[in-house]
Protein backbone atom coordinates (compact mmCIF):
# COMPACT_ATOMS: atom_id res chain seq x y z
CA UNK A 1 0.00 0.00 0.00
CA UNK A 2 1.60 3.26 -1.14
CA UNK A 3 1.53 6.23 1.20
CA UNK A 4 2.59 9.86 0.93
CA UNK A 5 5.04 9.55 3.82
CA UNK A 6 8.74 9.48 4.61
CA UNK A 7 8.92 6.58 7.08
CA UNK A 8 6.11 5.18 9.28
CA UNK A 9 7.98 6.21 12.43
CA UNK A 10 7.80 9.94 11.65
CA UNK A 11 4.26 10.20 10.27
CA UNK A 12 2.81 11.97 13.30
CA UNK A 13 5.77 14.30 13.81
CA UNK A 14 5.80 15.19 10.11
CA UNK A 15 2.10 16.01 10.21
CA UNK A 16 2.62 18.23 13.25
CA UNK A 17 5.32 20.16 11.38
CA UNK A 18 2.86 20.63 8.55
CA UNK A 19 0.12 21.83 10.87
CA UNK A 20 2.58 24.30 12.36
CA UNK A 21 3.50 25.56 8.89
CA UNK A 22 -0.10 25.90 7.72
CA UNK A 23 -1.68 27.31 10.88
CA UNK A 24 0.07 30.27 12.47
CA UNK A 25 -3.00 30.62 14.70
CA UNK A 26 -1.95 27.45 16.51
CA UNK A 27 1.07 26.73 18.69
CA UNK A 28 2.42 23.30 17.85
CA UNK A 29 4.85 21.59 20.20
CA UNK A 30 6.18 18.93 17.84
CA UNK A 31 8.46 17.33 20.41
CA UNK A 32 5.82 16.89 23.09
CA UNK A 33 2.95 16.49 20.64
CA UNK A 34 0.58 19.11 21.84
CA UNK A 35 -1.40 21.52 19.64
CA UNK A 36 -2.52 24.64 21.51
CA UNK A 37 -4.70 27.57 20.53
CA UNK A 38 -2.57 30.74 20.35
CA UNK A 39 -3.18 33.01 23.29
CA UNK A 40 -4.23 30.22 25.65
CA UNK A 41 -4.90 30.25 28.55
CA UNK A 42 -7.77 32.70 28.10
CA UNK A 43 -8.59 34.61 31.25
CA UNK A 44 -11.46 33.01 33.11
CA UNK A 45 -12.24 30.56 30.32
CA UNK A 46 -12.52 26.83 30.94
CA UNK A 47 -9.90 25.00 28.87
CA UNK A 48 -11.00 22.16 26.58
CA UNK A 49 -8.47 19.39 25.92
CA UNK A 50 -9.04 16.40 23.72
CA UNK A 51 -6.86 13.90 21.95
CA UNK A 52 -6.62 10.37 20.74
CA UNK A 53 -4.83 8.25 18.23
CA UNK A 54 -3.82 9.90 14.96
CA UNK A 55 -5.47 8.84 11.71
CA UNK A 56 -8.81 10.52 12.37
CA UNK A 57 -7.87 13.96 11.02
CA UNK A 58 -9.15 16.65 11.13
CA UNK A 59 -10.19 15.30 14.57
CA UNK A 60 -8.80 16.55 17.01
CA UNK A 61 -6.08 19.01 15.97
CA UNK A 62 -8.28 20.50 13.26
CA UNK A 63 -10.78 21.52 15.92
CA UNK A 64 -8.44 23.64 18.01
CA UNK A 65 -9.36 27.31 17.99
CA UNK A 66 -11.93 29.86 19.02
CA UNK A 67 -15.21 28.27 20.09
CA UNK A 68 -13.96 24.71 20.18
CA UNK A 69 -10.82 23.08 21.67
CA UNK A 70 -7.97 24.85 23.44
CA UNK A 71 -5.60 21.95 22.93
CA UNK A 72 -5.33 18.58 21.23
CA UNK A 73 -2.97 15.68 21.92
CA UNK A 74 -2.30 13.38 18.96
CA UNK A 75 -1.07 9.87 19.72
CA UNK A 76 0.59 7.52 17.28
CA UNK A 77 -1.69 6.26 14.52
CA UNK A 78 -4.73 4.64 16.19
CA UNK A 79 -2.91 4.67 19.53
CA UNK A 80 -4.13 6.87 22.35
CA UNK A 81 -1.71 9.59 23.44
CA UNK A 82 0.34 9.22 26.62
CA UNK A 83 -0.56 10.90 29.94
CA UNK A 84 2.33 13.38 29.75
CA UNK A 85 0.78 14.97 26.65
CA UNK A 86 -2.58 15.67 28.25
CA UNK A 87 -1.13 16.87 31.55
CA UNK A 88 1.14 19.21 29.61
CA UNK A 89 -1.82 20.44 27.56
CA UNK A 90 -3.89 20.96 30.70
CA UNK A 91 -1.15 23.08 32.25
CA UNK A 92 -0.89 25.10 29.03
CA UNK A 93 -4.58 25.98 28.77
CA UNK A 94 -5.70 26.27 32.40
CA UNK A 95 -6.53 29.85 33.32
CA UNK A 96 -7.58 28.76 36.78
CA UNK A 97 -11.13 28.04 35.61
CA UNK A 98 -10.27 24.37 35.18
CA UNK A 99 -9.94 22.01 32.26
CA UNK A 100 -12.34 19.59 30.59
CA UNK A 101 -10.93 16.39 29.10
CA UNK A 102 -12.99 15.11 26.19
CA UNK A 103 -12.21 11.40 25.84
CA UNK A 104 -13.44 8.93 23.25
CA UNK A 105 -14.44 5.69 24.93
CA UNK A 106 -11.58 3.29 24.20
CA UNK A 107 -9.69 1.44 26.90
CA UNK A 108 -6.44 3.07 25.92
CA UNK A 109 -7.81 6.59 25.77
CA UNK A 110 -9.66 6.25 29.05
CA UNK A 111 -6.66 4.81 30.92
CA UNK A 112 -4.22 7.40 29.59
CA UNK A 113 -6.54 10.35 30.20
CA UNK A 114 -7.19 9.08 33.71
CA UNK A 115 -3.48 8.97 34.44
CA UNK A 116 -3.12 12.44 32.91
CA UNK A 117 -5.90 13.75 35.15
CA UNK A 118 -4.03 12.49 38.21
CA UNK A 119 -0.83 14.21 37.04
CA UNK A 120 -2.68 17.46 36.27
CA UNK A 121 -4.46 17.48 39.59
CA UNK A 122 -1.13 16.92 41.31
CA UNK A 123 -0.10 20.17 39.64
CA UNK A 124 -3.20 21.92 40.95
CA UNK A 125 -5.28 21.91 37.80
CA UNK A 126 -8.96 21.21 38.32
CA UNK A 127 -9.95 18.55 35.80
CA UNK A 128 -13.37 17.32 34.70
CA UNK A 129 -13.73 14.47 32.23
CA UNK A 130 -16.41 13.47 29.76
CA UNK A 131 -16.28 10.16 27.93
CA UNK A 132 -17.92 10.08 24.51
CA UNK A 133 -19.64 6.79 23.65
CA UNK A 134 -22.10 7.22 20.81
CA UNK A 135 -21.53 4.19 18.59
CA UNK A 136 -24.72 2.11 18.55
CA UNK A 137 -22.95 -0.65 16.62
CA UNK A 138 -21.57 -1.83 19.96
CA UNK A 139 -24.69 -3.55 21.22
CA UNK A 140 -23.97 -5.14 24.58
CA UNK A 141 -22.02 -2.78 26.79
CA UNK A 142 -21.67 -5.33 29.57
CA UNK A 143 -19.61 -7.82 27.59
CA UNK A 144 -17.56 -5.19 25.78
CA UNK A 145 -15.41 -2.18 26.56
CA UNK A 146 -18.63 -0.22 26.04
CA UNK A 147 -19.80 1.90 23.15
CA UNK A 148 -17.07 3.56 21.12
CA UNK A 149 -16.64 7.29 20.79
CA UNK A 150 -16.97 8.34 17.15
CA UNK A 151 -18.82 11.13 15.31
CA UNK A 152 -20.48 12.62 18.37
CA UNK A 153 -17.04 13.79 19.47
CA UNK A 154 -17.38 16.64 16.95
CA UNK A 155 -20.71 17.68 18.45
CA UNK A 156 -19.34 17.49 22.00
CA UNK A 157 -16.25 19.52 21.14
CA UNK A 158 -18.23 22.16 19.20
CA UNK A 159 -21.05 22.61 21.68
CA UNK A 160 -19.02 22.40 24.90
CA UNK A 161 -16.46 24.66 23.20
CA UNK A 162 -19.12 27.25 22.51
CA UNK A 163 -20.34 27.05 26.11
CA UNK A 164 -16.79 27.60 27.38
CA UNK A 165 -16.35 30.50 24.97
CA UNK A 166 -19.48 32.06 26.49
CA UNK A 167 -17.76 31.90 29.84
CA UNK A 168 -19.66 29.02 31.41
CA UNK A 169 -17.95 27.48 34.47
CA UNK A 170 -16.36 24.01 34.39
CA UNK A 171 -19.36 22.12 35.76
CA UNK A 172 -21.69 23.68 33.20
CA UNK A 173 -19.30 23.10 30.31
CA UNK A 174 -18.92 19.48 31.43
CA UNK A 175 -22.70 19.28 31.80
CA UNK A 176 -23.24 20.44 28.22
CA UNK A 177 -20.67 17.93 27.02
CA UNK A 178 -22.41 15.06 28.82
CA UNK A 179 -25.82 16.18 27.65
CA UNK A 180 -24.62 16.27 24.04
CA UNK A 181 -23.08 12.83 24.34
CA UNK A 182 -26.27 11.40 25.81
CA UNK A 183 -28.32 12.98 23.03
CA UNK A 184 -26.08 11.62 20.26
CA UNK A 185 -25.85 8.34 18.36
CA UNK A 186 -23.65 7.15 15.49
CA UNK A 187 -23.43 4.25 13.08
CA UNK A 188 -20.57 3.59 10.65
CA UNK A 189 -20.15 1.57 7.48
CA UNK A 190 -16.97 0.59 5.66
CA UNK A 191 -16.65 -0.24 1.97
CA UNK A 192 -12.91 -0.86 2.35
CA UNK A 193 -10.45 -1.38 5.19
CA UNK A 194 -7.88 1.31 5.87
CA UNK A 195 -4.12 0.90 5.75
CA UNK A 196 -1.96 1.98 8.68
CA UNK A 197 1.65 3.11 8.14
CA UNK A 198 2.97 0.61 10.67
CA UNK A 199 1.20 -2.31 9.01
CA UNK A 200 1.75 -0.99 5.49
CA UNK A 201 -1.44 -2.58 4.21
CA UNK A 202 -5.15 -3.08 4.87
CA UNK A 203 -5.96 -3.86 8.51
CA UNK A 204 -8.47 -6.50 7.38
CA UNK A 205 -9.65 -7.71 4.03
CA UNK A 206 -13.01 -6.88 2.60
CA UNK A 207 -13.81 -8.50 -0.74
CA UNK A 208 -15.17 -6.60 -3.75
CA UNK A 209 -18.81 -7.53 -3.30
CA UNK A 210 -19.09 -6.92 0.44
CA UNK A 211 -19.19 -4.18 3.08
CA UNK A 212 -18.88 -3.99 6.85
CA UNK A 213 -21.74 -2.64 8.94
CA UNK A 214 -21.09 -1.08 12.32
CA UNK A 215 -17.40 -0.29 11.98
CA UNK A 216 -15.45 1.90 14.34
CA UNK A 217 -12.83 4.41 13.28
CA UNK A 218 -9.71 2.35 13.92
CA UNK A 219 -9.79 0.04 10.95
CA UNK A 220 -11.31 -2.72 13.00
CA UNK A 221 -13.94 -4.83 11.26
CA UNK A 222 -17.56 -4.15 12.11
CA UNK A 223 -20.22 -6.29 13.69
CA UNK A 224 -21.55 -7.73 10.48
CA UNK A 225 -20.51 -8.34 6.89
CA UNK A 226 -23.09 -7.98 4.16
CA UNK A 227 -23.34 -8.07 0.40
CA UNK A 228 -22.67 -4.62 -1.11
CA UNK A 229 -25.61 -2.20 -0.87
CA UNK A 230 -26.70 0.98 -2.60
CA UNK A 231 -26.25 4.41 -1.04
CA UNK A 232 -29.97 4.47 -0.26
CA UNK A 233 -29.89 1.10 1.46
CA UNK A 234 -26.82 2.06 3.51
CA UNK A 235 -28.58 5.28 4.52
CA UNK A 236 -31.63 3.32 5.67
CA UNK A 237 -29.57 0.87 7.72
CA UNK A 238 -27.57 3.70 9.31
CA UNK A 239 -30.55 5.91 10.04
CA UNK A 240 -32.59 2.99 11.37
CA UNK A 241 -29.76 2.07 13.75
CA UNK A 242 -29.36 5.55 15.28
CA UNK A 243 -33.05 6.48 15.34
CA UNK A 244 -34.04 3.13 16.78
CA UNK A 245 -31.62 3.71 19.64
CA UNK A 246 -32.12 7.45 20.30
CA UNK A 247 -35.83 7.76 19.43
CA UNK A 248 -35.52 11.54 18.98
CA UNK A 249 -38.60 13.68 19.55
CA UNK A 250 -37.07 17.00 18.50
CA UNK A 251 -35.14 18.28 15.47
CA UNK A 252 -31.64 16.83 15.21
CA UNK A 253 -28.17 18.00 14.32
CA UNK A 254 -26.93 15.70 11.55
CA UNK A 255 -23.37 14.78 10.69
CA UNK A 256 -22.92 12.83 7.47
CA UNK A 257 -19.31 11.89 7.89
CA UNK A 258 -16.87 10.41 5.41
CA UNK A 259 -14.33 7.85 6.61
CA UNK A 260 -11.63 9.44 4.46
CA UNK A 261 -11.48 7.49 1.23
CA UNK A 262 -14.98 8.20 -0.05
CA UNK A 263 -15.14 11.08 -2.55
CA UNK A 264 -17.13 14.14 -1.48
CA UNK A 265 -19.29 13.64 -4.59
CA UNK A 266 -20.46 10.30 -3.22
CA UNK A 267 -20.77 11.62 0.33
CA UNK A 268 -23.18 14.37 -0.74
CA UNK A 269 -25.25 11.82 -2.62
CA UNK A 270 -25.32 9.73 0.53
CA UNK A 271 -26.35 12.81 2.54
CA UNK A 272 -29.37 13.16 0.24
CA UNK A 273 -30.38 9.57 1.02
CA UNK A 274 -29.89 10.12 4.75
CA UNK A 275 -32.19 13.14 4.61
CA UNK A 276 -34.72 11.10 2.67
CA UNK A 277 -34.53 8.29 5.18
CA UNK A 278 -34.92 10.63 8.17
CA UNK A 279 -37.86 12.38 6.51
CA UNK A 280 -39.56 9.04 6.00
CA UNK A 281 -39.28 8.55 9.76
CA UNK A 282 -40.76 12.01 10.37
CA UNK A 283 -37.52 13.27 11.91
CA UNK A 284 -36.70 16.85 11.06
CA UNK A 285 -33.13 18.00 10.64
CA UNK A 286 -32.16 21.35 12.17
CA UNK A 287 -28.58 21.48 10.85
CA UNK A 288 -26.55 19.31 8.49
CA UNK A 289 -22.81 18.95 8.27
CA UNK A 290 -21.34 16.87 5.43
CA UNK A 291 -17.67 16.05 5.08
CA UNK A 292 -14.65 14.06 6.22
CA UNK A 293 -14.41 15.07 9.89
CA UNK A 294 -13.88 11.91 11.94
CA UNK A 295 -11.93 9.70 9.60
CA UNK A 296 -10.16 6.40 9.55
CA UNK A 297 -7.19 7.15 7.33
CA UNK A 298 -8.03 6.05 3.77
CA UNK A 299 -11.03 3.90 4.64
CA UNK A 300 -13.90 4.22 2.18
CA UNK A 301 -17.22 4.48 3.93
CA UNK A 302 -19.39 6.75 5.97
CA UNK A 303 -20.97 7.30 9.33
CA UNK A 304 -24.17 8.99 10.36
CA UNK A 305 -24.41 10.86 13.67
CA UNK A 306 -27.53 12.53 15.01
CA UNK A 307 -27.83 14.70 18.09
CA UNK A 308 -31.24 15.68 19.44
CA UNK A 309 -31.05 19.44 19.77
CA UNK A 310 -32.87 21.88 22.02
CA UNK A 311 -32.81 25.69 21.90
CA UNK A 312 -29.56 25.93 23.84
CA UNK A 313 -27.72 23.34 21.75
CA UNK A 314 -28.87 25.02 18.53
CA UNK A 315 -27.60 28.38 19.82
CA UNK A 316 -24.28 26.81 20.78
CA UNK A 317 -24.06 25.09 17.37
CA UNK A 318 -24.60 28.38 15.53
CA UNK A 319 -22.13 30.23 17.77
CA UNK A 320 -18.94 31.43 16.06
CA UNK A 321 -16.21 28.83 15.62
CA UNK A 322 -12.81 29.34 14.03
CA UNK A 323 -10.63 26.27 13.69
CA UNK A 324 -8.74 24.76 10.75
CA UNK A 325 -11.55 22.32 9.97
CA UNK A 326 -14.70 23.95 11.29
CA UNK A 327 -15.28 27.65 10.83
CA UNK A 328 -18.26 29.95 10.73
CA UNK A 329 -19.63 33.12 12.22
CA UNK A 330 -16.20 34.71 12.50
Partner 1 sequence: MNALPQEGPAIDGAFLRRWLDAATQAVDREADHLTELDSPIGDADHGANMRRGFLAARTAVEQEPPDTPGAVLVAVGRQLISTVGGASGPLYGTLLRRAGKELGDEPVVTAARLRDALRAGVDGVAQLGGAAPGDKTMLDALLPALDALTGALDAGGSTAQALAAAATAADEGAEATTPLRARKGRASYLGERSVGHRDPGATSAALLVTALADTAREASA
| Interaction of residue 178 with a second copy, rule CB under 8 A | no
Q: Which stretch binds partner 1 (CB under 8 A): 62-70, 108-116, 125-133, 150-158?
A: 108-116
| Interaction of residue 198 with partner 1, rule CB under 8 A | yes
| Interaction of residue 275 with a second copy, rule CB under 8 A | yes
- Looking at 23, 32, 56, 60, which residue is catalytic? 56
- Closer to ligand ADP at the Cβ: 107 or 284? 107
Binding pattern for the stretch 131-170 against a second copy, x by CB under 8 A and - elsewhere: ----------------------------------------
| Interaction of residue 221 with a second copy, rule CB under 8 A | no
* 56 catalytic residue (yes or no): yes
| Interaction of residue 108 with ligand ADP, rule CB under 6 A | yes
* 218 catalytic residue (yes or no): yes
Q: Which stretch binds partner 1 (CB under 8 A): 15-23, 75-83, 171-179, 261-269?
A: 75-83
| Interaction of residue 227 with a second copy, rule CB under 8 A | no
| Interaction of residue 270 with a second copy, rule CB under 8 A | yes
Three-class HEC string of the chain: CCCCCCCHHHHHHHHHHHHHHHCCCEEEECCCCEEEECCCCCCCCCEEEEEEEECCCCCCHHHECECCECEEEEEEECCCCCHHHHHHHHHHHCCCCCEEEEEECCHHHHHHHHHHHHHHHHCCCCEEEEEECCECCCCCCCCCCCCCCCCHHHHHHHHHHHHHHCCCCHHHHHHHHHHHHHCEEEEEEECCCCECCCCCCECCCCCCCEEEECCCCCCCCCCEEEECCCHHHHHHHHHHHHHHHHCCCCCEEEEEEECCCCCHHHHHHHHHHHHHHHHHCCCCEEEEEEECCCCCCCCCEEEEEEEECCHHHHHHHHCCEECCCCEECC
| Interaction of residue 111 with a second copy, rule CB under 8 A | no
Among 79, 112, 192, 305, indicate the residue that binds a second copy (CB under 8 A): 192
Nearest Cα to Cα of residue 136 among 259, 288, 246: 246
Among 78, 113, 155, 187, indicate the residue that binds Mg ion (CB under 5 A): 78
Residues that bind a second copy (CB under 8 A): 1-7, 10-12, 14-22, 54-55, 57-58, 62, 77, 191-192, 208, 211, 228, 230-232, 234, 256, 260-273, 275, 285, 288-290, 292, 295, 297-298, 300-302, 322, 327-328, 330
Binding residues for ligand ADP (CB under 6 A): 79-80, 107-108
Amino acid sequence: MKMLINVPETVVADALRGIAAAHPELTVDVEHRVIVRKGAPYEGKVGLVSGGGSGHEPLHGGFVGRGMLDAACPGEVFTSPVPDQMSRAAAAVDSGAGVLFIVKNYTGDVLNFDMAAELAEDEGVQVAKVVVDDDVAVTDSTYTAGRRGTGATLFVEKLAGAAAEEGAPLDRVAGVARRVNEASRSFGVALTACSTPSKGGPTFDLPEGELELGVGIHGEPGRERRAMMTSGEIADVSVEAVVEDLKPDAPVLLLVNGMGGTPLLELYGFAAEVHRSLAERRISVARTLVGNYVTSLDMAGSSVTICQADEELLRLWDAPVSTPALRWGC
